[in-house]
Amino acid sequence: MKEIIYYERDENKRPVLTVCLIANDNKDVLSRGVAKCSKKDMPYKKVGRAIATGRAKKMAEWRHGIVPPNTPCPLRDAWKATFEPTLTPYEETLIAKSV
């Protein structure tokens, strides 16, 4: 499995949104995790990467049965992580180049 990470930046070029895509060797995206920086926080790429990657991995594990059966979804907010997401054109480009 491969992690593809990208950032969206604000007008001051700070990474305020971090997205992690988890893809397999067939270029199928299994999950997407998102970390959004609050306006009160100082944006750090390392922190955003850790949060987004953790959310994407949790969703992939939950959907692929790695966790015990009947375990509720670990993420309540739909924007934080999705399973088999519909990719944006930019994400399709990243997947095509990376895996």
How far is 57 from 61, CA to CA, in rounded Å?
A: 6
Between 26 and 47, residue with greater pLDDT: 47
Sign of CA dihedral 44, 50, 56, 62: negative
pLDDT in tens, 51-80: 999 999 888 877 665 555 555 555 556 667
* CATH number, position 65: 3.30.160
Provide the domain count of the chain: 1
The pLDDT confidence band at residue 42, using thresholds 50, 70 and 90, is confident
Q: Which domain holds residue 86?
A: 2-98
Burial class from Cβ neighbours inside 10 Å (0-12, 13-18, 19+) for residue 81 reads buried
- Angle at 46 (CA atoms; ends 4, 30), nearest 5 degrees: 25
Please state the rounded mean pLDDT for residues 81-91.
86
Answer whether 7's CB lies under 8 Å from 20's CB: no
